[in-house]
């Protein structure tokens, strides 16, 4: 039996102009698309890709409840993977839309984990929200031998401190309701003035602020970039 291919496609951080040419081509040619959505809302991934979606393509919407417990979301991915598998078993390729990059905290990983052993898979990388935020904030991330860290805000303070201690520069993702705690921690570490906050990077509603001005709670699509210092070699003339 010839089965279809599962194709995870990175869409970039929000501005459709930041999608790769390959992503746009695959989406335009897709007869079956799948994407996550919060129950009762329009999928952000679909919004980013909308200009490329062909009329008549079959869309599999995977509604992911935003609960603290992992169970309901896992059940939703089980259901979504099952519906995708039905299309793959009919020999149809399925393009899965994923905001940013599929393998960088991407929702696609939950489907990949469920389907990769059974079906042929392709993954198309996308511009991550970290790279996009750095560009928008004109915040260089790492040079020469700098160590750059990605830190999820839901980690507890001792874990975050540990990671900050071993990095020259870092991004704090998933800030949301943790903003106040993270701000206090960065102030305590003397890094507040070296921090930049951005929300909805590259979208028309994008907002950039100092850490002091950042809203608490912050929206889901927000992050903080911090650099402990600029490498002096960057300014040295050879």
The phi and psi torsions of 7 (rounded to 5 degrees) equal -125, 110
Do residues 178 and 230 make contact, with C-beta atoms less than 8 angstroms apart?
no
Answer yes or no whether residue 105 interacts with ligand SAM by CB under 6 A: yes
CA distance 208 to 237: 32
Name the residue nearer to ligand SAM (CB basis): 93 or 99.
99
Name the residue nearer to ligand SAM (CB basis): 87 or 218.
218
Measured from each CB, the residue nearest to ligand SAM is 100
Site of tokens 């809302």: 41
**Distance set, CA 188 to CA 102, 134, 161, 174 (Å):** 34, 24, 11, 20
Residue 93 beta carbon to ligand SAM: minimum distance, rounded to whole angstroms: 22
What would the two tokens of residue 168 be?
Answer: 């020259």
Q: Which of residues 62-101 bind ligand SAM (CB under 6 A)?
A: 99-101
Name the residue nearer to ligand SAM (CB basis): 57 or 207.
207
Number of residues that bind ligand SAM (CB under 6 A): 23
Answer yes or no whether residue 111 interacts with ligand SAM by CB under 6 A: no
Residue 150 beta carbon to ligand SAM: minimum distance, rounded to whole angstroms: 10
Name the residue nearer to ligand SAM (CB basis): 52 or 221.
221
The phi and psi torsions of 220 (rounded to 5 degrees) equal -60, -45
Do residues 98 and 108 make contact, with C-beta atoms less than 8 angstroms apart?
yes
SS3 68: coil
What would the two tokens of residue 60 be?
Answer: 């599999």
Answer yes or no whether residue 133 interacts with ligand SAM by CB under 6 A: yes
**Residues in a beta bridge with 173:** 152
Q: Which of 211, 17, 35 shows the shortest CA–CA distance to 132?
A: 17
Name the residue nearer to ligand SAM (CB basis): 137 or 191.
137
Residue 95 beta carbon to ligand SAM: minimum distance, rounded to whole angstroms: 16
Q: Which of residues 164-223 bind ligand SAM (CB under 6 A)?
A: 173-175, 198-202, 220-223
- Interface positions with ligand SAM (CB under 6 A): 13-14, 99-101, 104-106, 128-129, 133, 173-175, 198-202, 220-223
């Amino acid at each position: 039996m010839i089965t279809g291919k599962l194709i995870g496609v990175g869409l970039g951080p929000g501005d459709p102009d930041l999608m790769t040419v390959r992503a746009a081509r695959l989406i335009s040619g897709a007869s079956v698309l799948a994407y996550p959505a919060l129950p009762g809302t329009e999928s952000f991934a679909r919004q980013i890709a909308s200009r490329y979606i062909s009329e008549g393509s079959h869309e599999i919407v995977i509604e992911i409840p935003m609960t603290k417990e992992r169970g309901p979301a896992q059940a939703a991915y089980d259901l979504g993977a099952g519906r995708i598998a039905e299309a793959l078993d009919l020999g149809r390729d399925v393009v899965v839309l994923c905001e940013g990059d599929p393998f960088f905290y991407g929702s696609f990983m939950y489907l990949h984990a469920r389907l990769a052993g059974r079906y042929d898979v392709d993954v198309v990388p996308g511009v991550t929200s970290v790279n996009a935020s750095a560009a928008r904030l004109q915040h260089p991330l790492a040079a020469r031998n700098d160590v750059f860290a990605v830190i999820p805000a839901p980690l507890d303070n001792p874990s975050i401190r540990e990671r900050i201690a071993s990095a020259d520069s870092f991004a704090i993702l998933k800030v949301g309701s943790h903003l106040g705690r993270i701000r206090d921690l960065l102030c305590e570490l003397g890094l507040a003035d070296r921090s930049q906050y951005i929300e909805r990077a590259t979208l028309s509603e994008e907002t950039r602020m100092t850490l002091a001005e950042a809203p608490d709670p912050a929206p889901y699509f927000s992050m903080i970039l911090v650099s402990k210092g600029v490498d002096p070699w960057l300014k040295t003339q050879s």
